[in-house]
């Protein structure tokens, strides 16, 4: 069993850390909010700051909202870097910018430690079910050391390449998810305004080539008007910003991604930033003067 540090115990980190405790690992925990009593009740050790976490753990995991938060957790006052000694492994499971990820990895490597970027897909549902997809960038030896921990939190675990490649893969994932939500939203809105029952249309489409996980999960959300967040629009906006900024740096166009981002922005402007990203449909409904189904 490993001594594991976990920094960031929010909607994703809380259940992920819980799975590691349940597997018998010793967890050293820190969050800017009080550490959940459920985790300490199961044997997790609450720490005063991330430095204390790093001093006690051999593998330190971060799971925080955005690039600046990772930087602060690693290198800020009371941060992880101050508690590292050579031979430890830092694993960032947040979804952040690939360019900054490479810089963070370089700084951690200079301290004699390995760094893995290991963002996830699957949302709160996947975190609770330990069924996350985990996309990893970094050295293979460090990946093999940490893989048993990944296997307690996820199912589809892939070493994609070097540092930054895990984050690049996550950005690609978020492009695909956003455009699938847009496609499902347009299709169900079209069917509904044409007079068809969107629930039955969705059911029919799930038996054919148009079927997808998005149609299954988010199509149901759209029809049933259940927009309480699994993954918030504001977080998907952050991820698409990474895609669009990266595309500018690469001197390429992502036109469909830009459209999806503008639709997310339209929903956010109407107060929907904290809604589930399936609520993108609300922007299209406004344009159509029609809702897929009555609001609950």
Q: What residues are labeled active site?
A: 170
β-pair partners for 115 = 90
Q: How many residues does the chain have?
A: 296
**First-residue to last-residue Cα distance in the chain:** 48
Greatest pairwise CA separation for the chain in angstroms: 65
For tokens 């893995």, the residue is 116
User: Which residues, in sequence order, are CB contacts of 191 under 8 Å at separation 6+?
Assistant: 198, 201
For tokens 């921990």, the residue is 149
The Cα 129–Cα 153 span in angstroms is 8
Please count the other Cβ atoms lying within 10 Å of the Cβ belonging to residue 248: 11
């Amino acid at each position: 069993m490993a001594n594991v540090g976990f920094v960031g115990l929010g909607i994703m980190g809380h259940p992920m850390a819980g799975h590691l405790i349940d597997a018998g690992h010793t967890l050293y925990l820190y969050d800017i909010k009080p550490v959940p009593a459920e985790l300490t009740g199961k044997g997790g050790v609450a720490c005063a700051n991330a430095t204390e976490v790093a001093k006690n753990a051999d593998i330190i995991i971060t799971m925080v909202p955005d690039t600046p938060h990772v930087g602060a957790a690693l290198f800020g006052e009371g941060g992880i870097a101050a508690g590292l000694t050579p031979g430890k492994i830092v694993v960032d499971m947040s979804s952040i910018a690939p360019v900054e990820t490479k810089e963070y990895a370089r700084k951690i490597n200079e301290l004699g430690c390995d760094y893995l970027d290991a963002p996830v897909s699957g949302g709160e549902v996947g975190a609770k079910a330990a069924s996350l997809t985990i996309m990893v960038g970094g050295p293979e030896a460090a990946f093999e050391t940490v893989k048993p921990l990944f296997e307690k939190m996820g199912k589809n675990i892939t070493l994609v390449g070097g540092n930054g490649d895990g984050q690049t893969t996550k950005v690609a994932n978020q492009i695909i998810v956003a455009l699938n939500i847009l496609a499902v939203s347009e299709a169900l809105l079209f069917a509904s305004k044409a007079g068809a029952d969107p629930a039955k249309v969705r059911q029919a489409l799930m038996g054919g080539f148009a079927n997808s996980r998005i149609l299954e999960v988010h199509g149901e959300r759209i029809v049933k008007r259940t927009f309480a967040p699994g993954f918030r629009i504001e977080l998907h906006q952050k991820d698409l910003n990474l895609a669009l900024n990266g595309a500018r740096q690469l001197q390429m166009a992502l036109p469909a991604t830009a459209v999806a981002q503008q639709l997310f922005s339209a929903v956010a402007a109407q107060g929907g930033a904290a809604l589930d990203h399936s609520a993108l449909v609300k922007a299209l409904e406004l344009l159509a003067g029609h809702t897929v189904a009555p609001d609950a």
